[in-house]
Amino acid sequence: MAEVIFPGPAGRVEARYQPPAREGGPIALILHGHPKAGGSMQEPTSIMMFRLFAEFDFGVLRFNFRGIGRSQGVFDNGMGELSDAAQALDYIQGLNPNAEQCWVSGFSFGAWIGLQLLMRRPEIDGFLAVSPPANHYDLSFLAPCPSSGLVLYGTRDTVTNPQDMERAVSRIRTQKNIKVDAVAIEGADHFFRDTQGKTDQPLAELEARARSYLERRLSRDVEPQAKPSGRPSRRK
């Protein structure tokens, strides 16, 4: 893993990059939680996702949104952070122009940004959205959802209310050629802590569910699937 700095819309961006295990291997972008709530690329959930994708031989990039760590700029209520994410995706794609797949994974605020990026970048093949803040941000823009993916959340989450999350997912899980799965982690709060405030067990359960999903998705036949009209053909 290398420490990298690349130019972003608000100045330099601090990041960590793990190259893929082979030429043309898949790539993944990891997006952290809310900058105003202590979110950074060093948070446990973002580190876990980074390592998990690396175990599957992805080239992986995690970075600090503007104003966090050594990334320049100031918080921009989502619009600037979406531009940061788009620039980060451009950066990792530039390093891996022949990547066979492209994924995005985010936690909380980062999940919301990642889902918006998904709607704007048709080359994204899959996503992991961990605790997208359905109580604070409208997720109706996901209908129709352009790629299959997995939403994970805790049953004791007060930021991503489980009922609101299930309603949001139910609107997008039945589209042709697209399947959005949802998994609730029993007893976990928004930060994947249990009722005693410990993170070990809920985070381990989160990792196991995400790992199982990636194993299933990556073992499928990767022949190109028919995509909705108006979008390029991509692997499902």
CA-atom Rg of the chain in angstroms: 16
> Domain extents for the chain?
2-218
pLDDT computed for residue 174 by the predictor: 62
Q: Are 2 and 91 in contact (CB under 8 A)?
A: no
Rounded to an integer, the average pLDDT of 134-163 is: 87
Architecture of domain 2-218: 3-Layer(aba) Sandwich (3.40)
User: How many Å apart are CA 218 and CA 223, to the nearest integer?
Assistant: 12
Record the tokens describing residue 93, joined without a space.
């794609």
End-to-end CA gap in the chain = 28
Confidence of residue 235 (pLDDT cuts 50, 70, 90): very low
> pLDDT tens for residues 177-197?
889 999 999 989 998 987 666
> pLDDT tens for residues 104-117?
999 999 999 999 99
